[in-house]
Amino acid sequence: MASALINVPPSARRGEIIQIKTLISHVMETGYRRTSLGVVIPRDILRLFVCSYNGEEVFRAEIHPAIAANPYFAFNTIATESGTLVFTWTGDNGFSATESVAIRVE
Amino acid sequence: MRLAGFFVFALALAAIAGEIPPSERHSGYELMRPETRAIQDDDAANPAMLWVMEGKGLWNERPNPGAHACADCHGDAGVSMKGVAARYPAFDVAAGRPLDLEQRINLCRTIRQRASAFAFESRQLLAITAYVARQSRGLRIEIGADARREPFLAAGREQFQRRRGQLNLACNQCHDDNWGKHLAGSLIPQAHPTGYPLYRLEWQGLGSLQRRLRACISGVRSEPYDYGAPELVNLELFLMWRARGMALESPAVRP
Protein backbone atom coordinates (compact mmCIF):
# COMPACT_ATOMS: atom_id res chain seq x y z
CA MET A 1 0.00 0.00 0.00
CA ALA A 2 1.39 3.35 -0.98
CA SER A 3 1.15 6.20 1.44
CA ALA A 4 3.13 9.39 1.34
CA LEU A 5 3.58 12.39 3.58
CA ILE A 6 4.29 15.65 1.79
CA ASN A 7 5.16 18.93 3.40
CA VAL A 8 4.81 22.02 1.19
CA PRO A 9 4.25 25.53 2.56
CA PRO A 10 0.57 26.30 1.74
CA SER A 11 1.48 29.79 0.57
CA ALA A 12 4.62 31.66 -0.44
CA ARG A 13 5.73 34.99 -1.87
CA ARG A 14 6.63 35.13 -5.57
CA GLY A 15 10.33 34.42 -6.01
CA GLU A 16 10.68 32.89 -2.53
CA ILE A 17 12.80 29.77 -2.12
CA ILE A 18 10.61 27.09 -0.55
CA GLN A 19 11.56 23.76 0.95
CA ILE A 20 9.57 20.66 0.10
CA LYS A 21 9.83 17.47 2.16
CA THR A 22 8.46 14.08 1.16
CA LEU A 23 8.30 10.67 2.81
CA ILE A 24 6.86 7.52 1.28
CA SER A 25 6.20 4.04 2.68
CA HIS A 26 8.38 1.55 0.88
CA VAL A 27 10.38 -1.50 2.00
CA MET A 28 13.35 -0.78 -0.33
CA GLU A 29 14.35 -4.45 -0.35
CA THR A 30 17.86 -4.42 -1.80
CA GLY A 31 17.91 -7.77 -3.57
CA TYR A 32 21.17 -8.63 -1.81
CA ARG A 33 19.68 -10.15 1.34
CA ARG A 34 18.91 -13.80 1.87
CA THR A 35 16.42 -15.62 4.07
CA SER A 36 17.65 -17.95 6.83
CA LEU A 37 17.37 -20.75 4.24
CA GLY A 38 19.72 -18.97 1.85
CA VAL A 39 17.10 -17.95 -0.68
CA VAL A 40 17.66 -14.50 -2.21
CA ILE A 41 14.91 -12.03 -1.33
CA PRO A 42 14.00 -10.45 -4.68
CA ARG A 43 14.77 -6.79 -5.16
CA ASP A 44 11.87 -4.43 -4.59
CA ILE A 45 12.95 -0.80 -4.63
CA LEU A 46 11.82 2.57 -5.88
CA ARG A 47 13.74 3.61 -8.98
CA LEU A 48 12.66 7.17 -9.65
CA PHE A 49 11.19 10.16 -7.87
CA VAL A 50 10.03 13.18 -9.85
CA CYS A 51 8.41 16.43 -8.77
CA SER A 52 6.81 18.74 -11.30
CA TYR A 53 5.47 22.21 -10.66
CA ASN A 54 2.63 23.25 -12.99
CA GLY A 55 3.83 20.66 -15.48
CA GLU A 56 7.50 21.63 -15.36
CA GLU A 57 9.95 19.16 -13.79
CA VAL A 58 11.75 20.81 -10.86
CA PHE A 59 13.33 17.80 -9.14
CA ARG A 60 14.34 14.28 -10.15
CA ALA A 61 16.15 11.57 -8.22
CA GLU A 62 17.27 8.17 -9.41
CA ILE A 63 17.02 5.73 -6.53
CA HIS A 64 19.33 2.77 -5.94
CA PRO A 65 19.42 -0.19 -3.51
CA ALA A 66 21.55 1.67 -0.93
CA ILE A 67 18.70 4.06 -0.14
CA ALA A 68 17.01 3.19 3.18
CA ALA A 69 13.41 2.06 3.58
CA ASN A 70 10.72 4.76 3.53
CA PRO A 71 12.78 7.21 1.46
CA TYR A 72 12.81 10.86 2.51
CA PHE A 73 13.56 13.62 0.02
CA ALA A 74 13.88 17.29 0.90
CA PHE A 75 14.65 19.83 -1.80
CA ASN A 76 14.20 23.50 -2.62
CA THR A 77 12.48 25.24 -5.49
CA ILE A 78 11.40 28.79 -6.28
CA ALA A 79 7.75 29.73 -5.83
CA THR A 80 6.88 31.14 -9.25
CA GLU A 81 3.08 31.02 -9.47
CA SER A 82 0.04 29.46 -7.80
CA GLY A 83 -0.66 25.96 -8.94
CA THR A 84 -0.01 22.32 -8.26
CA LEU A 85 3.02 20.29 -7.35
CA VAL A 86 2.82 16.70 -8.56
CA PHE A 87 5.00 14.02 -6.96
CA THR A 88 5.56 10.66 -8.63
CA TRP A 89 7.44 7.65 -7.35
CA THR A 90 7.98 4.63 -9.59
CA GLY A 91 9.73 1.37 -8.85
CA ASP A 92 10.04 -2.38 -9.18
CA ASN A 93 7.04 -4.67 -9.60
CA GLY A 94 5.06 -1.96 -11.35
CA PHE A 95 5.06 0.31 -8.31
CA SER A 96 3.68 3.75 -9.01
CA ALA A 97 2.34 6.40 -6.65
CA THR A 98 1.30 9.95 -7.42
CA GLU A 99 0.34 12.73 -5.04
CA SER A 100 -0.46 16.36 -5.74
CA VAL A 101 -0.42 19.39 -3.47
CA ALA A 102 -1.69 22.90 -4.18
CA ILE A 103 0.40 25.99 -3.50
CA ARG A 104 -0.73 29.62 -3.41
CA VAL A 105 1.82 32.22 -4.52
CA GLU A 106 1.18 35.91 -3.82
CA MET B 1 17.76 -16.54 61.38
CA ARG B 2 18.80 -13.05 62.34
CA LEU B 3 21.87 -13.38 60.11
CA ALA B 4 19.69 -14.51 57.19
CA GLY B 5 17.48 -11.48 57.74
CA PHE B 6 20.54 -9.25 57.61
CA PHE B 7 21.64 -10.76 54.33
CA VAL B 8 18.21 -10.21 52.78
CA PHE B 9 18.35 -6.59 53.97
CA ALA B 10 21.87 -6.13 52.59
CA LEU B 11 20.83 -7.62 49.24
CA ALA B 12 17.80 -5.32 49.11
CA LEU B 13 20.07 -2.33 49.79
CA ALA B 14 22.45 -3.41 47.06
CA ALA B 15 19.54 -3.68 44.64
CA ILE B 16 18.34 -0.18 45.51
CA ALA B 17 21.86 1.28 45.33
CA GLY B 18 22.11 0.26 41.64
CA GLU B 19 18.99 2.11 40.57
CA ILE B 20 19.29 5.42 38.74
CA PRO B 21 18.16 8.41 40.84
CA PRO B 22 15.25 10.30 39.19
CA SER B 23 17.39 13.39 38.59
CA GLU B 24 19.96 11.37 36.62
CA ARG B 25 17.54 9.69 34.26
CA HIS B 26 17.92 10.38 30.55
CA SER B 27 15.82 9.43 27.59
CA GLY B 28 17.68 7.54 24.87
CA TYR B 29 17.01 10.66 22.78
CA GLU B 30 19.67 12.53 24.73
CA LEU B 31 22.28 9.90 23.86
CA MET B 32 21.62 10.07 20.11
CA ARG B 33 23.66 11.90 17.49
CA PRO B 34 22.28 15.29 16.37
CA GLU B 35 21.46 13.83 12.92
CA THR B 36 19.23 11.14 14.42
CA ARG B 37 17.60 13.63 16.80
CA ALA B 38 16.79 15.83 13.81
CA ILE B 39 14.75 13.01 12.26
CA GLN B 40 12.65 12.68 15.41
CA ASP B 41 12.30 16.44 15.86
CA ASP B 42 10.69 17.02 12.46
CA ASP B 43 7.34 15.30 11.84
CA ALA B 44 7.92 15.83 8.10
CA ALA B 45 11.10 13.73 8.31
CA ASN B 46 10.13 11.17 10.98
CA PRO B 47 9.19 8.00 9.05
CA ALA B 48 7.09 6.84 12.03
CA MET B 49 4.58 9.48 10.97
CA LEU B 50 3.72 7.24 8.00
CA TRP B 51 2.35 4.75 10.54
CA VAL B 52 0.59 7.52 12.45
CA MET B 53 -1.13 8.58 9.22
CA GLU B 54 -2.25 4.97 8.59
CA GLY B 55 -3.40 4.71 12.19
CA LYS B 56 -5.57 7.77 11.75
CA GLY B 57 -7.21 6.03 8.80
CA LEU B 58 -7.84 2.91 10.90
CA TRP B 59 -9.26 5.03 13.73
CA ASN B 60 -11.99 6.34 11.42
CA GLU B 61 -12.59 3.13 9.48
CA ARG B 62 -15.25 0.54 10.34
CA PRO B 63 -13.61 -2.90 10.53
CA ASN B 64 -16.82 -4.53 9.22
CA PRO B 65 -20.05 -3.11 7.81
CA GLY B 66 -22.31 -2.32 10.76
CA ALA B 67 -19.46 -2.35 13.27
CA HIS B 68 -18.28 0.75 15.08
CA ALA B 69 -15.15 2.60 14.12
CA CYS B 70 -12.89 3.70 16.99
CA ALA B 71 -14.04 7.26 16.26
CA ASP B 72 -17.75 6.32 16.64
CA CYS B 73 -17.24 5.76 20.40
CA HIS B 74 -14.08 7.69 21.21
CA GLY B 75 -14.59 10.68 18.91
CA ASP B 76 -11.59 12.89 18.34
CA ALA B 77 -8.48 10.94 19.37
CA GLY B 78 -6.74 14.26 20.04
CA VAL B 79 -9.11 14.68 22.98
CA SER B 80 -10.13 11.17 24.06
CA MET B 81 -6.71 9.50 23.71
CA LYS B 82 -4.67 12.33 25.19
CA GLY B 83 -2.62 10.90 28.05
CA VAL B 84 -3.76 7.29 27.52
CA ALA B 85 -0.39 5.94 26.35
CA ALA B 86 1.27 7.59 29.36
CA ARG B 87 -0.77 5.34 31.69
CA TYR B 88 -0.17 1.92 30.10
CA PRO B 89 0.29 -0.94 30.91
CA ALA B 90 -2.84 -0.63 33.06
CA PHE B 91 -4.67 -3.21 35.16
CA ASP B 92 -7.56 -4.90 33.38
CA VAL B 93 -10.25 -6.33 35.65
CA ALA B 94 -11.47 -9.00 33.20
CA ALA B 95 -7.97 -10.25 32.46
CA GLY B 96 -6.96 -9.99 36.12
CA ARG B 97 -3.57 -8.59 35.11
CA PRO B 98 -2.06 -5.54 33.43
CA LEU B 99 -2.41 -5.15 29.66
CA ASP B 100 -0.26 -2.99 27.44
CA LEU B 101 -1.62 -0.51 24.92
CA GLU B 102 -1.50 -2.95 21.99
CA GLN B 103 -3.40 -5.58 23.99
CA ARG B 104 -5.96 -2.98 25.11
CA ILE B 105 -6.55 -1.89 21.51
CA ASN B 106 -6.99 -5.51 20.44
CA LEU B 107 -9.42 -6.12 23.30
CA CYS B 108 -11.50 -3.19 22.12
CA ARG B 109 -11.36 -4.60 18.59
CA THR B 110 -12.52 -8.08 19.52
CA ILE B 111 -15.10 -7.18 22.18
CA ARG B 112 -16.51 -3.81 21.09
CA GLN B 113 -15.90 -3.87 17.36
CA ARG B 114 -16.47 -7.62 16.97
CA ALA B 115 -13.51 -7.81 14.62
CA SER B 116 -10.50 -10.09 14.62
CA ALA B 117 -7.50 -9.02 16.68
CA PHE B 118 -4.54 -7.58 14.82
CA ALA B 119 -1.44 -9.78 15.02
CA PHE B 120 1.33 -8.56 17.31
CA GLU B 121 3.81 -6.43 15.38
CA SER B 122 1.50 -6.24 12.35
CA ARG B 123 1.55 -3.00 10.42
CA GLN B 124 -2.04 -2.22 11.46
CA LEU B 125 -1.52 -2.79 15.18
CA LEU B 126 1.65 -0.67 15.15
CA ALA B 127 -0.16 2.02 13.13
CA ILE B 128 -3.17 2.36 15.43
CA THR B 129 -0.94 2.17 18.52
CA ALA B 130 1.36 4.85 17.11
CA TYR B 131 -1.66 7.05 16.36
CA VAL B 132 -2.99 6.64 19.91
CA ALA B 133 0.45 7.13 21.48
CA ARG B 134 1.08 10.24 19.37
CA GLN B 135 -1.76 11.95 21.24
CA SER B 136 0.29 11.77 24.46
CA ARG B 137 3.51 13.21 23.06
CA GLY B 138 5.09 15.60 25.56
CA LEU B 139 2.98 14.34 28.46
CA ARG B 140 4.61 12.77 31.50
CA ILE B 141 4.51 9.02 32.05
CA GLU B 142 2.07 8.48 34.86
CA ILE B 143 2.00 5.03 36.39
CA GLY B 144 -0.04 5.98 39.45
CA ALA B 145 -0.74 4.00 42.60
CA ASP B 146 -2.90 0.93 41.97
CA ALA B 147 -2.80 -1.78 44.61
CA ARG B 148 -4.05 -4.43 42.14
CA ARG B 149 -1.00 -3.82 39.97
CA GLU B 150 1.63 -4.07 42.69
CA PRO B 151 2.36 -7.82 42.43
CA PHE B 152 2.86 -7.44 38.67
CA LEU B 153 5.16 -4.47 39.16
CA ALA B 154 7.18 -6.54 41.64
CA ALA B 155 7.31 -9.41 39.14
CA GLY B 156 8.51 -6.98 36.46
CA ARG B 157 11.24 -5.71 38.74
CA GLU B 158 12.28 -9.29 39.42
CA GLN B 159 12.44 -9.90 35.65
CA PHE B 160 14.61 -6.83 35.26
CA GLN B 161 17.05 -8.00 37.91
CA ARG B 162 17.14 -11.70 37.05
CA ARG B 163 20.26 -12.99 35.29
CA ARG B 164 19.38 -14.94 32.17
CA GLY B 165 20.78 -16.61 29.09
CA GLN B 166 24.18 -17.98 28.18
CA LEU B 167 25.71 -14.58 28.92
CA ASN B 168 24.14 -14.74 32.38
CA LEU B 169 23.22 -11.06 32.34
CA ALA B 170 20.34 -9.20 33.98
CA CYS B 171 18.81 -6.08 32.42
CA ASN B 172 19.98 -3.89 35.31
CA GLN B 173 23.63 -4.93 34.91
CA CYS B 174 23.73 -2.96 31.66
CA HIS B 175 20.95 -0.40 32.00
CA ASP B 176 21.36 0.61 35.66
CA ASP B 177 25.03 -0.09 36.28
CA ASN B 178 26.74 0.56 32.94
CA TRP B 179 24.60 2.98 30.93
CA GLY B 180 26.59 5.49 28.90
CA LYS B 181 29.31 2.92 28.23
CA HIS B 182 29.57 0.87 25.07
CA LEU B 183 28.55 -2.68 24.26
CA ALA B 184 30.56 -3.32 21.11
CA GLY B 185 29.86 -0.24 19.01
CA SER B 186 26.55 0.63 20.61
CA LEU B 187 25.99 3.07 23.43
CA ILE B 188 24.12 1.49 26.34
CA PRO B 189 21.02 3.57 27.11
CA GLN B 190 19.18 3.66 30.43
CA ALA B 191 16.29 1.72 28.87
CA HIS B 192 13.44 4.13 29.49
CA PRO B 193 10.58 3.25 27.13
CA THR B 194 9.65 6.87 26.42
CA GLY B 195 9.01 6.65 22.71
CA TYR B 196 7.25 3.40 21.78
CA PRO B 197 6.15 2.35 19.29
CA LEU B 198 9.28 3.77 17.69
CA TYR B 199 11.14 3.79 14.39
CA ARG B 200 14.52 2.11 14.65
CA LEU B 201 16.89 2.81 11.82
CA GLU B 202 18.28 -0.70 12.41
CA TRP B 203 14.82 -2.21 11.89
CA GLN B 204 14.02 0.08 8.95
CA GLY B 205 10.56 0.20 10.43
CA LEU B 206 8.32 0.76 13.41
CA GLY B 207 8.42 -1.67 16.33
CA SER B 208 6.88 -2.19 19.74
CA LEU B 209 8.50 -2.27 23.16
CA GLN B 210 7.89 -6.04 23.22
CA ARG B 211 9.92 -6.40 20.05
CA ARG B 212 12.75 -4.45 21.67
CA LEU B 213 12.60 -6.55 24.85
CA ARG B 214 12.60 -9.79 22.88
CA ALA B 215 15.63 -8.61 20.89
CA CYS B 216 17.48 -7.75 24.11
CA ILE B 217 16.56 -11.09 25.69
CA SER B 218 17.79 -13.08 22.71
CA GLY B 219 20.86 -10.81 22.68
CA VAL B 220 21.98 -12.30 25.99
CA ARG B 221 21.36 -15.73 24.43
CA SER B 222 18.17 -16.43 26.30
CA GLU B 223 14.87 -17.80 24.94
CA PRO B 224 12.58 -14.78 24.40
CA TYR B 225 9.01 -14.86 25.70
CA ASP B 226 6.23 -14.97 23.10
CA TYR B 227 4.55 -11.72 22.11
CA GLY B 228 1.84 -10.89 24.63
CA ALA B 229 3.34 -13.09 27.38
CA PRO B 230 2.54 -11.79 30.89
CA GLU B 231 6.28 -11.77 31.67
CA LEU B 232 6.86 -9.21 28.91
CA VAL B 233 3.94 -7.05 30.02
CA ASN B 234 5.20 -7.10 33.62
CA LEU B 235 8.59 -5.99 32.37
CA GLU B 236 6.95 -3.23 30.31
CA LEU B 237 5.04 -2.15 33.40
CA PHE B 238 8.18 -2.03 35.51
CA LEU B 239 10.05 -0.05 32.85
CA MET B 240 7.23 2.48 32.50
CA TRP B 241 7.07 2.82 36.29
CA ARG B 242 10.85 3.27 36.33
CA ALA B 243 10.44 6.07 33.74
CA ARG B 244 7.49 7.68 35.55
CA GLY B 245 7.50 11.47 35.24
CA MET B 246 9.58 11.42 32.03
CA ALA B 247 8.03 12.93 28.90
CA LEU B 248 6.57 10.66 26.22
CA GLU B 249 8.13 11.07 22.75
CA SER B 250 6.03 8.60 20.77
CA PRO B 251 6.60 7.85 18.01
CA ALA B 252 10.32 8.31 18.58
CA VAL B 253 13.30 7.53 16.35
CA ARG B 254 16.26 5.48 17.56
CA PRO B 255 19.45 4.35 15.81
Asked whether the beta carbons of B86 and B135 are under 8 A apart, the reply is no
Which parts of chain B sit beneath pLDDT 70? 1-17
The pLDDT value recorded for residue B9 is: 46
Amino acid B112: pLDDT: 94
ipTM of the complex model: 0.93
Give yes or no: B216 in active site: yes
The pLDDT, as a whole number, for residue B144 is: 79
Domains of chain B: residue spans and CATH = 29-43+149-254 (1.10.760.10), 53-134 (1.10.760.10)
Give the pLDDT confidence score for residue A18 in this predicted structure.
97
CB < 8 Å & 24+ apart, contacts of B148-152: B148/B91, B149/B90, B149/B91, B149/B98, B149/B237, B152/B91, B152/B97, B152/B98, B152/B230, B152/B233, B152/B234, B152/B237
What global pTM score does this model have?
A: 0.92
Eight-class DSSP state of B29: G
CB of B251 within 8 A of CB of B198?
yes
Size of the A and B interface in Cβ pairs below 8 Å: 32
Distance, CA of B78 to CA of B72 (rounded, Å): 14
Question: Residues of B numbered 57-96 whose beta carbons fall under 8 angstroms of chain A's beta carbons: which are they?
Answer: none
Residue B7 pLDDT: 47
Q: Among B44, B201, B205, select the one facing A5 at the smallest CB separation.
A: B44
pLDDT digits (tens, 9 = 90+) for B163-190: 999 999 999 999 999 999 998 888 999 9
**Residue B184, CB-side half-sphere exposure with 13 Å CA sphere:** 1
| CA distances from residue B110 to B117, B120, B230 in whole angstroms, order as listed | 6, 14, 19
Domain ranges in chain A? 4-8+17-105
Report the distance separating Cα B210 and Cα B159, nearest Å: 14
Radius of gyration of chain A, Cα coordinates, nearest whole angstrom: 16
Q: Residue A72: which of B45, B53, B205 has the nearest Cβ?
A: B45
Return the pLDDT at B4: 52
Answer yes or no: are the C-beta atoms of A11 and A81 closer than 8 Å. no
Low-confidence residues in chain A, pLDDT < 50: 1
Q: Does domain A4-8+17-105 have CATH number 2.60.40.10?
A: yes
